[in-house]
Amino acid sequence: MPATTLDDLDRSLLQRFLRADTPEADQLRKLHLSASEHGQLGLSISGVLLLTPNPTQWLGNAYVQCVCYSGTERDAHDQLDAADCTGPLDQQINDALAFVRRNMRLAATKTIGRQDLPQYDLGAVFEAIVNAVAHRDYSMTGRRIRLHMFVDRLELYSPGALPNSLSLDGLMENTVTRNETIVNLLSRYYNAREEAGRQALIERRCEGVPKIIKASEALSGKRPEYRLVDDDELLLIIYAASKDVQDE
């Protein structure tokens, strides 16, 4: 990343990667967190995204825009909540999930004991946000991840077309990684939130998309949809559950 130096990294963010038996500079290089250009040593794009407190200083759209609307359409007059989730990638993921948690509605049944009925399966939402952050195209300018909540659905837009030969039909069975370094580091050095039901932030077993589909459909009765928008943006729609569906 031009105009960066190793002084730009936050040492508290670096600690998880360091081993006592290997020089720090060698570890940064081997993990592809640093890079050199024309003899100048600085941070790689992955280094900026994972090791700096404000990646938008260099990558202006490297954040998650979250908006919650009261209705079914985008209308600035109907906004209930909005937040830009910035910071290193793991913080963006956690903050975006927290946004969904605080804005989704809970219904309740009046059977024996109270049973809360969430609009979304938070494990599925977590998978969706992780996938968007890990696999988006960071080379695209003017595009950010957008997470928009409506009364009946959640929409998640991730910049970039599907990588290589991956198709929408193949999402359930295959994983093609655009950002190999980011995916590798998130899977090795970062723990997942409790909602994920696993230890690593990413598990590379092609289980993320099936979990999103199956868990969301089981809760709402409607299958989530993946769409390509203008061939350069991936949209995931997760439909909200309702008490009526749960009572069927």
**What is residue 246's predicted lDDT score, i.e. its pLDDT?**
47
Per-residue pLDDT band for 174 (boundaries 50, 70, 90) equals: low
If one looks up domain 64-247 in CATH, what number appears?
A: 3.30.565.60
User: What is the average per-residue pLDDT within 73-81?
Assistant: 93
List the one residue out of 106, 92, 91 whose CA is nearest residue 12.
Answer: 91
Collapsing DSSP states into helix, strand and coil, what is residue 217? helix
Structure confidence at residue 206 as a pLDDT band (50, 70, 90): low
pLDDT of the residue at 236:
96
- What rounded mean pLDDT belongs to the chain? 88
What is the pLDDT at residue 248? Answer: 47
- Please, what's the b/e burial string for 182-212 (b: 16 or more CB within 10 A of its CB; e: otherwise)? bbbbbeeebebbeebeeeebbeeeeebbebb
Least confident of 34-48, 135-149, 180-194, 199-213: 199-213
Q: What is the pLDDT of residue 156?
A: 98
pLDDT of residue 230: 87
The arithmetic mean of pLDDT across residues 85-103, rounded, is 97
pLDDT digits (tens, 9 = 90+) for 226-240: 999 988 899 999 999
pTM of the shown model: 0.90
Which residues are CB-neighbours of 240 under 8 A, at least 6 positions away?
104, 105, 119, 120, 150, 151, 152, 153, 154, 220
The mean pLDDT of 103-120, rounded to a whole number, is: 71
Report the distance separating Cα 113 and Cα 11, nearest Å: 49
Q: Residue 29 carries which side chain, given as an amino acid letter?
A: R
Pinpoint the residues of the chain covered by CATH 3.30.565.60: 64-247
pLDDT, residue 147, reads 98
